[in-house]
Structure 1
Amino acid sequence: MEIKNNGGDWQKSSEATAEVETDLNNWLPITQSRNGNWQYSAFHNVTAMVGAGVLGLPFAMSQLGWGPGVVVIALSWIITLYTLWQMVEMHEVVPGKRFDRYHELGQHVFGEKMGLWIVVPQQLMVEVGTDIVYMITGGNSLKKIHDLACHGSCKSIKTTYFIMIFASVHFFLSHLPSLDSITLVSLAAAVMSLSYSIIAWATSAHKGVIPDVSYGPRASTTTGNVFNFLSALGNVAFAFAGHNVVLEIQATIPSTPDRPSNKPMWKGVVIAYLIVALCYFPVALVGYFVFGNSVQDNILLSLDRPAWLIILANIFVVIHVIGSYQVYAMPVFDMMECFLVKKMKFKPSRCLRFVSRSLYVALTMFVGMTLPFFGGLLSFFGGFAFAPTSYYLPCILWLAIKKPKRFSLSWFVNWICIILGVALMLLAPIGALRNIIIQAKTFKFYN
């Protein structure tokens, strides 16, 4: 009788825990709503993928050179499309269960605690790092708009102030409750990314190759060129970063045994990757062809005419990074709110969201104002954080879950991706740190 009672108590306790977990999931921003479809998947993925990274691709080409540059960008497109497919397929790899967050899939493979320690730090570095870079991108684009509109007749305004202006928008948008609720913002951002990419390469092509263009090495020493090459690898890696939010995007799509979420999700991913190709390759190749090794780390900064078109392109960039910031911030909000409710025992409330999200926006704004090294941060975060989560961690999870036969095609492909991804993670930050140090020598804080 006592055993039966204990069993009944345990069952009631389990049911109560499950009920609390369900209530929490219904409140958290990732799982609050499951009204997505393949169209949502497409533009959320475009918004997450195409961003500041595409503007740095011509600069990366100037550091890599024609041959290596084309190979690295093409290989990255292929590898990350493959690993993105793996993530989509693993979302419901366990029947009746959905891995709505990257770390949940990691916990399934590596264990409850180890999975958190392996995945969460990397994912946070990617998402927080991207939001910091977008703060800088938004501020730089606003400054470019101001400078071009004034034709040099206005008083110069510090980039710091423009970053603060950009951040002010997020103090409002960050309080939208869920990933589904930013759908229109994400759609606008996706349209803008395609628009400014077209403007970037079309305006470059119209400008024509600059006089005395050079496609030789950017640096005058072998050491400098080696570091530039490594830094460029990180720039390219930064451009392929949608994996860090792909499970969270898929979590917004409804799923039944007859209609699993992977089919509409994959359809959206394929369309998104076609748009990525239409943005990345023309911008990278035309931008480098026109400016050679004199191209700046943001292609739009190399363009001044026609002024109205460059102003329009920068307006598109600002709108896009506003949406991208939110897509990357939502998983961070989800993690913060889950931690505050489950571990710190706060009650889920609007007040909790208001304070925690406002502090997050303030933090990314402060770091962006303090360290506005666009190119260096692009490369550092790209190599150190994006390479694991986009290039090889999905392959490790796939090998652990699917267990393909040793020396089979799947086994070989995954191990090749792992080796290339680890090499990228180790090498790219070296060049990036050197560039940040060089930039820091002449840098004035809050200038």
Structure 2
Amino acid sequence: MGTEPPAAPDQNSETQSNVTSNIEEKLAKQKEIDDWLPITSSRNAKWWYSAFHNVTAMVGAGVLSLPYAMSNLGWGPGVVILTLSWVTTLYTLWQMVEMHEMIPDRRFDRYHELGQYAFGEKLGLYIVVPQQLICEVGVDIVYMVTGGKSLQKIHNLVCKGCKEIKTTYFIMIFASVHFVLSHLPNFNSISGVSLAAAVMSVSYSTIAWTASVHKGVQPDVQYGYKGKDATDTVFNFFTAMGDVAFAYAGHNVVLEIQATIPSTPERKSKGPMWKGVLVAYIIVAFCYFPVALIGYWMFGNNVEDNVLISLEKPTWLIVAANLFVVIHVIGSYQVYAMPVFDMIETVLVKKLHFRPTRLLRFVSRNIYVALTMFVAISFPFFGGLLGFFGGFAFAPTTYFLPCIMWLAVYKPPKFGLSWITNWICIILSLLLIDSVTPLEG
């Protein structure tokens, strides 16, 4: 009646074999790409890698402005906001560590992958990727400027009679280091650079507060608000809250750091990752609280926006501190650049179907470093722009986006402890965004 006879057993077997072969070929190709991409190519990191990567990502040169923030906040609110930010960001970081492997046999190696699971494939990308790129690319540009200006300060202090050199050339000198370091293939390969950066951040923070103690409480010290009127005082207060918020912004690379730690069903990555995070946060507290409180105690509301300027002398100490800043921002640049490299290389290989080669990596990473250098040279005031854009990126990705994803994925019972805690963090963080946005004008 025109019906086709059933396929012979050998034909069915051949079809099934071809399907299996195609699947295996795709999996092998996917593994080849994953073994090449910088986030997933090496998963043998130890817990202490997590510690110094997180310190490098979080403790920036902005710690030196915390005494100035305290001068605008005052003793009571300043201590409360510093402590509350420390506790809140530690909590949201714990949430991200937990969500990294919340699905059996799956790891969310990148921030946007977690966002896609929580909000949907397209919406997750639209929510997370722009904010993450603003943070990571913006920080790298700011570090280009910071590194160049710190090198310039060293030159001016050491060689006072020398001819003045423009900041542009120092930014180019700083960038030249990254044209070399940016070709380290993955996160684990920059562990030595990151460790040096973490040590330097602790070093210049220690210099700041110990030198302040040595200088002693100033004779004319005052602790009252220095705003000319109530409006000025309120504006300064909110700007200082923004300074504190930025100081704790380092969550954009947390999942990518955890992706480098090995994981088995018996020993998941969250154990060593959380251990490293706790050590990192103890170091962060050691850096932030002494600098902020002692710097304000010694200089009061006359403290400069960089406490090292208030110290003035000895010259060798200021030179050393600026050198430590340079080394630190070299490492921080690489920590923030690695997830960007991963995004660029993923698009090139998976979407545009380039072959994963050293040449592709060499060209793409050199272009990225060159672009951040060009923007830093063109806009040496970029930190002020970052203060505006950062209000829409740093605070959300650090303070409350993890809470929203936690509520979306785990759906804790309404009015339970987890539900209430997360909504408190979200509300407080939204208030922070309003204060971060007007930063630096």
TM-score, normalized by length of structure 2? 0.93
Q: Distance in 2 between matches of 1:377 and 1:269?
A: 30
Alpha-carbon displacement from aligned partner over 1:171-213 (angstroms, at most 9, x marks no partner): 1111111111001111111111111110011111211233433
Question: Counterparts of 2:39 and 2:239 in 1: how far apart (Å)?
Answer: 34
C-alpha separation in 1, matches of 2:257 and 2:304: 33
> Structure 1 residues 208-217 or 333-342, which shifts more?
208-217
1:100-155 CA-to-partner distances (Å, cap 9, x unmatched) read: 111111111111111111111111111111112211221221122112212x3222
Deviates more, 1:300-309 or 1:70-79: 300-309
Structure 2 residue 156 is matched with structure 1 residue 156: no
| Conservation of the 8 A alpha-carbon contact between 2:392 and 2:433 | yes
Q: Does 1:98 align with 2:107?
A: yes
Change (3 A) 1:77 1:378: farther
Does the aligned pair in 1 maintain the 2:141–2:382 contact within 8 Å?
no
Match of residue 60 from structure 2? 51
Compare 160-169 and 181-190 and name the one that shifted more: 160-169
**Matched residue of 1:56: which SS?**
helix
Match of 1:313 in 2: 321
Aligned to 1:353: 361
Cα distance change of structure 1 residues 7 and 395 upon mapping to structure 2, 3 Å threshold: farther
Cα distance in 1 for partners of 2:71, 2:189 equals 40
Deviation at residue 6 of structure 1 after TM alignment: 7.3
Structure 2: distance between partners of 1:110 and 1:26: 27
Structure exhibiting the larger radius of gyration computed from Cα positions: 2
Secondary structure in 1 matching 2:392? helix
1:292 to 300, 304, 321: 300
What does residue 269 of structure 1 align with?
277
1:249 maps to 2:277? no
1:281 and 1:71 map into 2 onto residues whose CA distance is 11
1:42 counterpart (30, 34, 51): 51
Question: Residue 126 of structure 2 is aligned with which of 114, 117, 125?
Answer: 117
Query: Which residue does 2:3 correspond to in 1?
Result: none
- Cα deviation digits, residues 263-284 of structure 1 (max 9, x gap): 0000010000000000000111
- For the residues of structure 1 that align with 2:130 and 2:257, how far apart are their CA atoms? 20
SS at match of 1:423: helix
Partner of 1:408: 416
Q: Does 1:193 align with 2:207?
A: no
Which sits farther off after the overlay, 2-11 or 359-368? 2-11
Contact 1:126 1:386 (8 Å CA) reproduced: yes
Are the equivalent residues in 1 in contact too, given 2:134–2:390 (CA < 8 A)?
Answer: no
What is aligned with 1:439?
none
| TM-fit CA distance, 1:406 | 0.8
Instruction: Name the count of aligned residue pairs.
Output: 432
How far does the alpha carbon of each residue in 1:295-316 deviate from its partner, in whole angstroms, 9 at most, with x for none? Answer: 3333223332111111111111
CA distance 1:53–1:75, shift in 2 (3 Å): same
Pairing partner for 1:424 from 412, 429, 432: 432
Identity, % of aligned pairs? 68
Match of 2:228 among 220, 232, 239: 220
Pairing partner for 1:210 from 212, 215, 218: 218
Q: Paired residue for 1:127?
A: 136
C-alpha separation between the residues in 2 aligned to 1:376 and 1:58? 19
Give, in whole Å, the separation in 1 of the partners of 2:165 and 2:189.
Answer: 34
Provide the rounded CA distance (Å) in 2 between the counterparts of 1:340 and 1:62.
Answer: 48
3-state SS of paired residue (1:40): helix
Report how far residue 425 of structure 1 moved: 2.0
Call closer, same or farther: CA 1:240–1:141 in 2, change over 3 Å.
Answer: same
Q: Displacement of 1:11 after TM fit?
A: 5.1
Within 5 A, what are the aligned runs for 1:364-383? 364-373=372-381, 376-377=384-385, 379-380=387-388, 382-383=390-391
Residue 327 (structure 1) aligned to one of 308, 323, 335:
335
Q: How much has 1:379 moved relative to structure 2?
A: 3.7
TM-score under structure 1 length normalisation: 0.91
- For 2:37 and 2:156, the matched residues in 1 are separated by 41
Query: Which runs of no fewer than 5 residues in structure 2 stay unpaired?
Result: 1-5
Distance across 2 between alignment mates of 1:207 and 1:195:
18
Which whole-Å CA distance do the structure 2 matches of 1:267 and 1:171 have between them?
Answer: 33
Q: Which residue of 1 aligns with 2:148?
A: 139
Which residue of 2 is the match for residue 442 of structure 1?
none
Given that residues 133 and 377 in structure 1 are in contact (C-alpha distance below 8 angstroms), is that contact kept between their aligned partners in structure 2?
no
CA deviations on 1:310-356 (whole Å, 9 max, x unpaired) are 11111111111100110010000000110111122222122211221
**Which letter maps to 1:298?**
N
Q: State the alpha-carbon separation in 1 of the partners of residues 110 and 406 from structure 2.
A: 16
Cα offset for 1:389? Answer: 0.7
Distance 1:229 1:81 in 2: 24
Shift of 1:407: 0.3
